[in-house]
Amino acid sequence: MSEISATGSDKAQAADPFCGPDSHGHFGRFGGVFVGETLIAAVEELDRVYSRMAADSAFWAEFDKDLKYYVGRPSPLYFAERLTKHYGGAQIMLKREDLNHTGAHKINNTIGQALLAKHMGKPRIIAETGAGQHGVASATIAARLGLECHVYMGAEDIKRQSANVYRMKLLGAHVVSVESGSRTLKDAMNEALRDWATNVDNTYYIIGTAAGPHPYPKLVRDFQAVIGREARQQSLEQFGRLPDALVACVGGGSNAIGLFHPFLHDREVAMYGVEAGGDGLETGRHAAPLSAGRPGVLHGNRTYLMSDDAGQILETHSVSAGLDYPGVGPEHAWLKDIGRVNYVAATDKEALTAFRALTRMEGIIPALESSHAVAYAGKLAATMSPEQILVVNLSGRGDKDIHTVAEIDGIRI
């Protein structure tokens, strides 16, 4: 609804559009807290605790220590020389989040949130997962901290991502198959919210992306912003200047907001968020709410959504389970509306082509999610000059996807 708006933050966000969210979680007209009363006390408690911890340098020191010694940060900013030649044009630099422990950027967030859970004295954590990467990252940190862990996963995704399901079980997590609705990520999130409302006293809900009710979009962004801070510093060290453009895939949008946020004030840096175009935006079979959706309210926040004319949430389609979500983080919705970030889409086919190109030319097998970013980066690079620099967030590695790709190739492995 375009007429929705006006919060007390408008003045502050007019002066600095990137200072959000306000104290109620609004990024312009997006974000907020849209949950049932049974969950309000829980999100308010989290907001209080996070505000306190975020102001405490000891908390960040603990976080940074885990990122360094457990995750293996900083992740390199790597010049993909052959890929650059292949696409022709700007130099393509890969931010190697695929090299993190557990194979994706997701661990940055779960480390931060598990520290919050620990400080809040919650012995039980829950998480939702689509591709399984966030589930694995949650199960991992739960194992390390000795927390009970329940991961909600759509029955369809369990079929698509059996290796990650087994990984979570090995790590000691309970994987709960979600049979309701479209049996994918959005339904897993509904089920996790129900669990949280029921077990609110002893349970911490680790949301995997920069969406959901306030303060999740803010705190997930803050934990993922290590990606952008490193990339910014590495750019200055390696090229003596900032890159010309950033490219990241956007499902819920946590890897993208993590890369983009520290660069938002650098107006000379162009930014591109790449959504899952599925079979093509024109077919309606995609997962691209920013490119082809409309504003609405789901899972605790107002944002762009894929919904029909009656306001029901649509099923999404993408070759990549991690992008198969009908909503997107509210800060992306805001950045789209103010024009700071360009949101585009790459189709399944384009992502698969990029998957193969990166694998063959650099010896790096990317996640299908990240392959969407690579696909668009290739197109973009070709329109740029060889002096220009383009940073692509390689948000995860593709080991989890080899069964999907093999199946597309008609191979049984």
Partner 1 sequence: MSRISQTLSSRKAEGRKVLVPYLVAGDPDPSLTVPLMHALVASGADIIELGMPFSDPSSDGPVIQLGSERALKAGTTLKDVLSIVARFRESDQQTPVVLMGYLNPIEIMGYEAFAEAASGAGVDGLLIVDLPANEGDEFFAAVRPKGLDTIFLVAPTTSESRLASICACSTGYLYYVSLKGVTGAAITDKGDIRAKIEHLRGVTDLPIVVGFGIKGPESAREMAAISDGVIVGSALVDRISYLQPGKPYTQEQIGETVTLISEIREALDA
Annotated catalytic residues are 106, 128, 395
Q: Which is nearer to partner 1, 21 or 300 (CB)?
A: 300
Q: How near is the Cβ of 118 to partner 1 at its closest, in Å? A: 22
Q: How near is the Cβ of 408 to partner 1 at its closest, in Å? A: 29
What is the CB-side half-sphere exposure of residue 315 using CA atoms within 13 A? 8
First-to-last CA distance in the chain?
48
Element (H, E) at 348: helix 348-362
For residues 158 and 175, the answer to whether their CB atoms sit within 8 Å is yes
Q: Which is nearer to partner 1, 327 or 398 (CB)?
A: 327
For residues 333 and 275, the answer to whether their CB atoms sit within 8 Å is no
Q: Which residues bind partner 1 (CB under 8 A)?
A: 1, 3-4, 24, 32-38, 40-42, 44, 180-181, 186-187, 189-190, 193-194, 197-201, 294-300, 305, 307, 309-313
Q: How near is the Cβ of 23 to partner 1 at its closest, in Å? A: 11
Q: Tokens for 24, please give them.
A: 């109620």
Q: Which is nearer to partner 1, 202 or 233 (CB)?
A: 202
Q: Which is nearer to partner 1, 88 or 123 (CB)?
A: 123
Q: Which long-range contacts (CB under 8 A, 24 or more apart) does 15-24 make?
A: 17/334, 17/338, 17/340, 18/261, 18/264, 18/265, 18/340, 20/331, 20/334, 21/214, 21/217, 21/218, 21/330, 21/331, 24/214
Q: How near is the Cβ of 2 to partner 1 at its closest, in Å? A: 10
Q: Which is nearer to partner 1, 293 or 396 (CB)?
A: 293
Q: How near is the Cβ of 38 to partner 1 at its closest, in Å? A: 5
What single letter denotes the amino acid at residue 158? I
Find all residues with CB under 8 Å of 114, minimum gap 6, and list them: 125, 138, 141, 142, 144, 145, 147, 204, 206
Of 220, 143, 200, 218, residue with least CA distance to 174: 143
